[in-house]
Amino acid sequence: MSITSIKAAQRLDSRGKPTVQVILTTVNGCFRSSVPSGASKGDYEAVELRDGDSSCYQGSSILKAVHNVENVLGPAVIDAKLNPATDLAKIDELVVKLDGTDDRSKLGANAILDISMAAARAGAAGAGVPLYKFLAKQAGSSTKDFVMLAPFMNILNGGDHSGNNMAFQEFMIAPIGASSRAVECRDVRLPQNSHH
């Protein structure tokens, strides 16, 4: 099950900031992914590629990253004839190698991550398992026992983008007293060709 096409487009996220959307196609359907975009960047985070053209979304447009998906990364992944269900790590290695920088600044972490996320969804569909089971297997974790993740809730923001002088970026709470046995986890399967 090789990848037949990889397309990209500029989309707006929930804050109206441009982000990359990738649509990766295999015989099992189309698999979409959009990269999240933070309001600030840490010193050791990978670099989102932004155009820097002040006339378009105040310099935040990502058309260079879209170009890199469609003209550099995507064609290389397709030409490699890798199967997302069995070769996800090889797909990741290929796109990282094509960039060649420690911080993914040449082709853009937003372009690289988006291909990886869409390929993971395609891989899960190709393997016939839910995404969480597919990712657990890719990570070498046990696929027998799963624990529901505890949600964290942001209650107070600080940091560079908050407009205040608080030294901490986030104060969060989590319901850590809940038993992992309290919720039964069941597979939710989507109809064929609707893995978006």
Q: Is residue 89 part of a domain?
A: yes
pLDDT of res. 40: 63
Residues 15 and 107 occupy one common structural domain: yes
CB 158 within 8 A of CB 169: yes
Q: Is residue 195 part of a domain?
A: no
- CATH code for position 40: 3.30.390.10
Residues 77 and 42 occupy one common structural domain: yes
pLDDT of res. 1: 77
Residues 68 and 164 occupy one common structural domain: no
Question: What number is the average pLDDT over the span 48-77?
Answer: 94
pLDDT of res. 182: 47
Q: Is a pLDDT exceeding 60 seen at residue 192?
A: no
The pLDDT > 70 percentage for the chain reads 85
Residues 33 and 117 occupy one common structural domain: yes
Q: How far apart are CA 92 and CA 98, in angstroms?
A: 10
Residues 83 and 165 occupy one common structural domain: no
Predicted model pTM: 0.78
- The DSSP code for 153 is E
* Number of structural domains in the chain: 2
Q: Is residue 194 part of a domain?
A: no
